[in-house]
Amino acid sequence: MGMYDNVDNVPVACPRCGDNEPKSVQIKCGPQSLNRYMFGKDEIDIDWDYSYYDSIVDKGKGVIGGIASCAHCRKEAEEKMQEIIKDARNKGEVECPDGSKFLFECLINGEDALSIILKRLDDAYDGNRSIDLFGVTMQIEKSIPIFAAVKIDPKDEK
């Protein structure tokens, strides 16, 4: 996925399930030294000219973007994947060589089993198996994040 810094304890609710536990948000607008910052407390070293992966949303207003993960939705997707794997095994679709431990070592109808299972997970969630990820914007004042909101995609505002 690349190198990101993280801002922890970000007060945003998951737009999918509504879980309002604080989230960890990955950002890519600094030197990416894999630092962890606390929302509302720590100063973040931001390069305001570094516009990679929508990291700088509005330089003039001090708004950066990042990617949050919802633990509740991640757990749901992991459970769904296990259900899909179990179903494939129950149907006798999964062919594993002796000694194999991992799904990527197996086949379904002569194809990589992991790829097939991930495709089925995509299908279960209307083409988005990464249901736990969503965009977040944070307003920064004096290098400290003071406000966070779910990032709205302009195509979804209609």
pLDDT in tens, 100-138: 889 899 999 999 999 999 999 999 999 888 999 999 999
The predicted pLDDT at position 1 comes to: 46
Average pLDDT, the chain: 91
Q: Is the pLDDT at 54 greater than 50, yes or no?
A: yes
Q: Where are the domains of the chain?
A: 5-69+132-156, 72-124
Nearest-Å Rg of the Cα atoms of the chain is 19
Model confidence pLDDT, tens digit, residues 58-83: 999 999 999 999 999 999 999 999 99
The predicted pLDDT at position 158 comes to: 46
Q: Is the pLDDT at 155 greater than 70, yes or no?
A: no
- Residue 1 C-alpha from the chain's centroid: 10
Mean pLDDT of 40-54: 88
The predicted pLDDT at position 150 comes to: 95
Model confidence pLDDT, tens digit, residues 83-103: 999 999 999 999 998 888 898
Instruction: Output the DSSP codes for the chain.
Output: ----EEEEEE----TTT---S-EEEEE-SS-----EEETTTS-----TT--STT-EEETTTTEEEEEEE-HHHHHHHHHHHHHHHHHHHHTT-EE--TT--SGGG-EETTEEHHHHHHHHHHHHTTT-S-TTEEEEEEEEETTEEEEEEEPPPGGG--
pTM for this predicted structure:
0.83
